Amino acid sequence: MSTPYRRTAALVAGVVTTALLAVPAQAAPPVRVTLPGTSGHHLIGTTDLHLVDGDRADPWHPADRREVMVTVTYPAQRGGERAPWLSPGAARVQEADVADAVTGPVDWAGTRRQARTNAPVERGRWPVVLFSPGFGMAREVNATITDDLASHGYVVVSMSHTHESRWVEFPGGRMVEGTVAGDAGTFGTALDVRVADTRFTLDELTRLARGANPDAERDPLPRGLSGALDLTSVGVLGHSYGGFTAAETMYRDRRFDAGVNLDGGIAIGGDGEPGDAAKHGLDRPFMLVGADSTDPATGQRSAHTHLDPSDPSWALFWANQRGWKRDLHFSGAAHLGFTDYQVAIPRLARVLKPGVAESVIGTIDPAKSAAAQHEYLSAFFDLHLKHRDRGLFDRDDPRYPATRFVR
């Protein structure tokens, strides 16, 4: 049976592009994606930072120092313009990726996030959560989750993993597209690079909290940002291989207090070797969140939980986890339903062929799925970083009938 990350690579390369099914484009008014409002009571701002690790050569390009682009989203005061979902360069890559996969034009560049660019930071000190995207995915396509979490009173830092992420746009418009293949020869290195990126990003946030400007261009920071980071309360969150990254980062670095894995195996993708977090467990809180999956070899559908025999890494982690744990399943969801495609696909309905929505985000109600994701993620970090128990983890919530805890 194929490993979780072979399936993930197939989803990223296939579902988002060829699995959308090519049809000739026809002249029509462009469809524009709209991202939903946030559920928290804080306004949010956002800024990008260009981080350069002077002590680390880039494993994918050893002649270069390792560069990491991050987006920082935070509770904000009023001010600034709504930030674009995709930068101009990213929008061009996205358009090219799906050019043969839609029946009409899509205005990728016109979509706006809820966050406002460089808005002043709301006064206070806020827990920090780092986010890692899936293998071959871009940090930008997880803005719905990160924006919503920030609206609940968190500084959320989304990372790109250069040369592996689908695209990374650096200041000045320099675009680096992903060239790292998802195979047995690269998955192990990719994990180590991702964990190092995550730890380095936290190092740079520590410098920021002490008054330094870690941005390589020394661009001005939003007013109040350096004093807003509560680095005594740090979480980590990731989707797919980013979920594996979250678990392994916690295993290797005790500065991270709690973590969430959105539908990612906890094993090296190429050969299925379990990660250290699966083999030894963690002594801090960690939540597994799973969708449904279809094994490409057999066509068999299963629920991705710690009881799912197709991913033994979750069972191993569950048996060894020493800290607080939950396994939350979204029935009818698909793997990419934990990205912005969950809310984007329904808005693209008139330019998608029949069956596309189900293959990308599943049969779950998209709006209810997004609402449940936001509710459970903010409640998890409220419980473990703010020590506020909203009572959401003791039993299934009737408001979200497609979600259940797997014991």
* Residues near 381 by beta carbon (within 8 Å), at least 6 away in sequence: 127, 129, 149, 152, 154, 235, 258
Whole-number pLDDT of residue 100: 67
What's the mean pLDDT when you consider all of the chain?
92
- Answer whether CATH 2.30.31.70 is correct for domain 4-405: no
Check pLDDT > 60 for residue 388. Answer: yes
Beta strands 258-262 and 155-159 are unpaired
Distances (CA, A) of 319 to 200, 225, 291, 303, 322: 30, 40, 20, 18, 8
CB 263 within 8 A of CB 243: yes
Sign, Cα dihedral of 72, 65, 132, 18: positive
pLDDT (average), residues 241-249:
98
Check pLDDT > 80 for residue 354. Answer: no
List residues bridging with 249 in a β-sheet: none
Other beta carbons within 10 angstroms of residue 322's beta carbon come to 11
Query: Which amino acid would we find at residue 143?
Result: A
> Which position has the token pair 């930030």?
83
Distances (CA, A) of 86 to 26, 82, 168, 232, 237: 24, 12, 11, 32, 21
Distances (CA, A) of 397 to 3, 76, 104: 32, 31, 39
Check pLDDT > 50 for residue 270. Answer: no
* Residues near 172 by beta carbon (within 8 Å), at least 6 away in sequence: none
- Distance CA(312)–CA(90), nearest Å, equals 36
Length of the chain: 407
- Tell me which of 36-45, 220-229, 243-252, 342-351 is least confident: 342-351
Check pLDDT > 50 for residue 306. Answer: yes
> Which position has the token pair 């040369």?
163
- Distance CA(72)–CA(49), nearest Å, equals 8
Q: 0.85 cut: is pTM over it?
A: yes
Whole-number pLDDT of residue 27: 59
* Domains of the chain, residue spans: 4-405
Whole-number pLDDT of residue 19: 43
HSE-up of residue 302 (Cα within 13 Å, Cβ side):
16
Whole-number pLDDT of residue 22: 40
Query: Which amino acid would we find at residue 371?
Result: A
CB 190 within 8 A of CB 275: no
Whole-number pLDDT of residue 299: 76
192-234 pLDDT tens trace: 999 999 999 999 999 999 999 999 999 999 999 999 999 999 9
pLDDT band at 96 (very low <50, low <70, confident <90, very high): confident
- Distance CA(209)–CA(231), nearest Å, equals 8
List residues bridging with 282 in a β-sheet: none
CB 143 within 8 A of CB 249: no
Whole-number pLDDT of residue 246: 99
- Distance CA(135)–CA(8), nearest Å, equals 8
